[in-house]
Every structure is written in structure tokens, then in C-alpha cells.
Structure 1
Amino acid sequence: MKNNANSVSKWLNLCNNRRSPWKKLILTVLLAFALQSCHKKKPLGDNYFIAKNGSEILYLYDKNSSPGAPDIPWDDKYRVVNADIKSFVILQADYAKDKDHYFHKGIMLTNVDYATFLISDHKEDRMVIAGIVRDKNHVYSFRNPHNIIEEADPETYQKTDYAVGSGYWYKDSKHYFVHDTVVNTDYNTFKPITEYIYHDKDNIYLLHTSGYSDKATYLKAIPEPGLSNPKEIVPGIIESDNAVFVSQKEGRFIRIPVEDKQSIRYFQPDYTYMIIDRKIYCQGEPLEDADIASFSVYKYPGNNGFSSYAKDNNYVYYYDDKLLDADPNTVRFVKDGNQNLIKDSHYKWVPQYGNINHFTRKMPIEK
């Protein structure tokens, strides 16, 4: 290593003599990395190291995710851990301890009770970093144990069987929590319908979450007292004993009351259209003037794939848009290049993808 540093120094002297600022800058960087490699550190695990001098413990932090990490370059990404080196033990998920303190990402946890502090239910993979940290007084955020999870009871706090996105639901004896956030529901009747839709005796809930951003996590309540036997039919459609709920943009549900549950019919393959109590709906909205007796959905050749075209004796539809010049008796569904569309002997109706609203463009066949 000493020979390498000497060689780099000679190159710098040569560059100084030639007055080459670019070469000087490049070789200065090379010298910095050469000197960095001289400071060998013994890895302990989980980004903890013993310094070359043998008397210090270091933590290799990521300034983008470690709280309080200074913005400094190159090998200065090591934080000195103020720990007793003889009793220092690596635990899991960047946690460690010595005879007197616990540490997370190299920072001493001064807000926890050492004698009763416990780490449990740790799970970590490409999508999830989760677990429980607690002591006799509090439950703490697993990803940032300097923060207390408000209202959480440390004696009864536990992980539930409800998985959600990049984390889990937790509960204690009185509340449910997701992403370290307490949610207000009826505790005794709260249950999942899907990963992001829940219900209790009074409401349907839509879960809004943004990964690890706890502040962006909340439940939106849609009042539905007396909800009975809700289940997901397909993503975006929930059916109960007396209503069908169709999700729309911006987290809204359309509620369609049901008098006769046996009347419900969903048109496959994509469930865009449905019949409820002798009325046709498109994505939850009534399809006005549609003839229920002759209504059908266009399908791919061989019934393979999705289609949002439909017809009855009077009209051809693209979603809820009536294609007034399209004859339901002659228009056929085809695959034209990479697009799926309908056409007759003169025109084709091409879907305009990427738009907020569903519509088609009428075009001569030769275009």
C-alpha cells in the first residue's frame, strides 16, 4: 500500500511540473482512494465494523436513508459508534447493543428501557422491512426506533395476518395499526376484503398508502352500515348481500343497490359491463337505452383477451360511448396490427389510449 501511495505522489509531482490541472485533479482523486484502502476495517456484520486502530466501532451509513448522516464524500461515510467494544453485539436489521445501550444504525437509543427492550417478528426482503421493537413503556417504529408509535400498548402489540403492500397490519388490545399509524375502526368487526379494501360493521375502507411514508397512510371510510358478506369479485368490484360496489378513479366507489342478488350478471372477460336488477351498467354507471334482451359483449377471436366493446339491437358501444354510425349487424371485432378494434366494410373505430376518458376515433379502413 505504501508503494502505491508513493507512486501516486510521484505522478502528482510530475503533473505539477507540467502544470496540467485536469491531470492533477484526476490523480488527486486516485490518491484519495489509494489512501482510503490503507484504512482497513474488520466487518462485524450489518454495516458495523471495527476500525483499523482496534479501539473503535464504526457504522457504514447511507446518507440517503440514515437520519443525521452528514453530507461528506468518499470514505467518510463511517460513523463512530459510541459503544463499549468489549461487550458490543450485532443483533439484526442494523440493531446492536453493548452492556449499557442499544443502537440503531450506529446511533445510541437513549429513549428506550435497556432491561426490557425487545426486537421481534423481523422480516426483510426486497419489498418488506418490518418488525416490532418495544420495551415496558412503548412500542417504537421498527425503521426509526427514535419514534414512538402513539397509542400502541407494548404488552399486547402484535402482527396480524393481514398483509399489505410493503408492510403488515399490527394490532393491540384496542387498535389496529398500519405502517406505524393507528387507524380508527370498529375493533371487533374490522376485517380485510382485499389487500387494500377493508370493512367493519359501519364502513368500507380504502387504504391509501405510500410505501414507507407513514404520513401518507390512512383509511378512507365509505359509510355502509349493515354491510353483509362482502367479497371481491374481481379487482375493483365488491359484492355484498344488498349492493355491488365498483371502484373508480381517485378512490371512489359507486354503490349499486341490489334487490335480487340472483339477477347479477357480469360480462367476461373484463367485467366492464354488468346486469343488476334488469338494468345494464358500465363501470358502475347506468348504460342508458341499452336493450337487455339483445345485449352482448364483443370478444377477441377465440375469446382470448379483453374487450370493452358491446352491442345490442340498436347500438354499438365502446364503454358507455354510443358509436352512432356503427351498425351492430355488420360491425365485427378484429385485431388490426397491434390494436384491437371494430370495423365494417368502410370504417374502423380505433380506441384512443392514454386519455382520461374512453373514446374512439372513426377512420376510413385504408388509414
Structure 2
Amino acid sequence: MMNNIVTMGLISTLASLFFSCREQVSPLSEDYFKKSGAIYFIPGGNGFERGSRKTVADINSFSVIEGVYARDKDHIYFMGCPQQLVDVKTFQLKNKVPIDQQHVFKFEGFASATSHCSKNQLSVIEKADPETYITLYDELQALSKDKSSYYYHNQRIAVDYATFEVLNKNFVRDKNQLYLATQKTIHPLNYTVDQVHCINREYLILEDKTLLYYEPYQGTGILETKLTSAKQIKSLDEKSLIIDDLVIIRGKPFTYQQVDANSFKILGSSGGNSFWSRDKNHIYYNQQLLVEADPNTFEILKLAVAKDANHIFVGNKIFYGPDVKSFRRVNKSSANYDFEDDLGNKYWYRTNKGQVVLAPVNKK
């Protein structure tokens, strides 16, 4: 055991000595360094944790372009690897997009300072025009275009160029069709596009009759809600709406159908899931009615823990034991537990198999 510790310490010391005697090539990059008459690619300068690559670059003509891109008289370098498909003389980064006179390039894979250079090669985006190619990531992640085509995840997509538009982060359209933008592709949908109302980054209404929402997780896909009317629309957050008398959470009508839409409010949420909500009559946890909860005295203490004048709630269950009146959340800077009361009860906030529990701190 002691020998292993000594060996690891020696390796660490030698590595530190090796990388300490180096010179950063340019302020344009923290990845390229001169060392012992050679150019090294060291991601972020942290060779001990992230590895390093001794390049074949000519040190006299070597210069950094930006970040992981560099050049010498013979090659363009990406992650310290000479590129095979790139024209050295005309290569440039155009708004951070790698291009040369004839091509737009992409990198697909996992770049690493320790993998073989055959794994760190730029490839060509087929038929993309380098002179007019631009990214549209501020409109839709992974979307780009040139003078004649749109591209999604670097793949040319078959849409009508003149009428194509981004509606929100999930939906796009052209004059012919509505499309769903998934994490991988643009998928055509069988909906007309004559009358489309974009509510926010998540929701669309078609012809004031059909509400659309995309849920990518667990293979759910498109959620469709038929509307009797859409006269008044209120967006509570990106995933929560009130349309006339209908409360919509994550693309579905509120579970408790008698919820009062006019007074409905979201009180606390996490990760897009509505934890606590209320209307003038009731408190709800994950859309479940809490009959015992008093809306007038209800307060959230921490995530799934709340209380009113008479009860402490952990999720949709009443928690018995502490003194309700004095039960409170603790300032974590002064204690290593989460809740306490005036009777000396102390509790940690814990999760067990997805369920929140208040675990008592053992009294001494």
C-alpha cells in the first residue's frame, strides 16, 4: 500500500515538473504550449487530468487560430491533430464555424487529447456553401442555413426555403407543413398550418381548436388537447397555461378537474414539474388535492415540505410529530440539519427511492 502511494506521488511530481516547464503559445488558446522544442496540445493546460498530445507541428511556423484550432505551414490542427480534408491556405473560423474556400466542416464524435488523431478529424457538411453558411442557434439549437438550404444537426433538411420559420423550441413550419424539432431530427407532422398561434417556447394552438405540446421523455411524444375555445390565454411559465377555464400542466389538463382556473397559481416548482399550487379553495401537490390544507395559512418551507396552521405536509401526506406552530426551516450556515421546532425535534430533508422523507436527528 505504501509503495503504491509513493509511486503515485512520484508520478504526480514528475508530471508537474514536466508541464511546469512550458510556454503558452498564444493568449487565443489555453490549449497549445511549447515544450522542449515541440508543440503540445494540453486541454486547458491540465495535462495531468485531461491528457496531452505531442503534435507534429512545425514550431517555427506554428500559430493559434482560436481555441483548439491552430495551423503551421503544412497543416490545420484540431485538438492537436493535423486535418486531412481541410485546405490550409483558405481555412478560417467564420463566427466559430470551420470553413475553407470550398467546404463547411463539422466534428461529430468525442474529441480527446488522448485518442488517436484518426478520431479527431473534421468532416464535410455535404453541399453547404461556406460563403453564406450561418448558424441560427439563437432561434433553434442545432439549426443553420446557407443561401439555398436549411440544416439541422449538420444534415440538410427538406423544407420550403422561402417560407420556413421557427415557431418555438419544439415546432417549425413552412407553407406546406408543420414540423417537430426533436433532439435528433426535424420530423414532419400531419397538421395544417393556415392558422398557428405560438403561445411560448413550448406550446402551439392550431386554428384555436388544438393545443400541441411536445414531451420528449419516456417516448411520450406529441400531446394534443382539444379546446372548446381559446379566448383568454395566460402563460404561467413555459410548461403551464390557463386557457379560459382550463389549467394545462406539461401538455395535459390539470388532474383535479374542479380546479378553479380564475384563481389558480403555481406556488413552487422544480425541474418543470409543478409541486405546489393553489386556487381560492384548495392546495394541490403534484395536481393532487390536499383536502386538509388551508389555503389562507399555507406556506412552503422547502421543496416538498410545507405547512399550514394545523398540519405539516411532506408531499401529499401529513407529517406528525413536530410542533406545527414552531416547526421551521433551519439556516444551514448555523446547523447541519434542515428543520426544527421549539420542542427540540430536529430533522434532515432526505429522499428515498424518489420519495421525500424527514429523517429525525438522534437526540443525545
TM-score by length of 1: 0.59
Which amino acid in 2 is paired with 1:185? V
Distance 1:207 1:349, change over 3 A: farther
Deviation at 1:36, TM superposition (A): 2.8
Cα 1:183–1:30 shift into 2, 3 Å: closer
- Secondary structure of 1:185's counterpart equals coil
- Structure 1 residue runs of 5 or longer lacking an equivalent are 1-19, 66-71, 123-130, 209-216, 353-359
Structure 2 gaps of 5+ residues are: 109-119, 268-273, 325-364
Residue aligned with 1:81, SS = coil
* Larger-gyration structure (1/2): 1
Matched residue SS, 2:199: strand
**Structure-2 separation of matches of 1:58 and 1:97:** 11
Identity of aligned residues (%): 18
1:112 aligns with 2:89: no
Equivalent position of 1:213 in the other structure: none
Q: Deviations over 1:316-346 (max 9, x none)?
A: 86666566x669xx8756116446768797x
Superposed counterparts of 1:183-222, under 5 Å = 183-201=157-175, 202-208=177-183, 217-222=184-189
- Residue in structure 1 matching 2:223, options 246, 254, 269: 254
How far the C-alpha of 1:181 sits from its partner, in A, is 3.7
TM-score, normalisation: structure 2: 0.60
Match in the other structure for 2:114? none
Q: Distance in 2 between matches of 1:42 and 1:290?
A: 67
Q: By how many angstroms is 1:140 displaced?
A: 0.9
Secondary structure in 2 matching 1:91? strand
1:232 aligns with one of 199, 204, 212 = 199
**Aligned residue for 1:157?**
133
Residues 317 and 113 of structure 1, relative CA distance in 2, 3 Å threshold: closer
**TM superposition shift of 1:161:** 6.6
Aligned to 1:79: 54
Q: Secondary structure of the equivalent of 2:14? A: helix
- Secondary structure at 1:32 match in 2: helix
Distance in structure 1 (CA, Å) of the matches to 2:301 and 2:51: 57
Q: Tell me the equivalent position of 1:274.
A: 242
> What is the total number of aligned residue pairs between the two structures?
295
Equivalent position of 2:101 in the other structure: 135
What does residue 335 of structure 1 align with?
Answer: 299
**Conserved in 2, the CA contact under 8 Å of 1:241 and 1:261?**
no
1:93 corresponding residue in structure 2: 67
SS where residue 173 of structure 1 aligns?
A: coil
What's the CA shift for 1:92? 1.8
1:44 to partner: Cα distance: 1.7
RMSD: 4.7
Q: Report SS of the residue matched to 1:152.
A: coil
For residues 137 and 240 of structure 2, the distance between their equivalents in structure 1, rounded to whole angstroms, comes to 32
Structure 2 CA distance for aligned equivalents of residues 265 and 178 of structure 1: 31
CA change 1:259–1:220 in 2 (3 A) is same
Instruction: Describe the shift of the 1:183–1:333 C-alpha distance in structure 2 as closer, same or farther (beyond 3 A).
Output: farther
The AA in structure 1 aligned to 2:191 is E
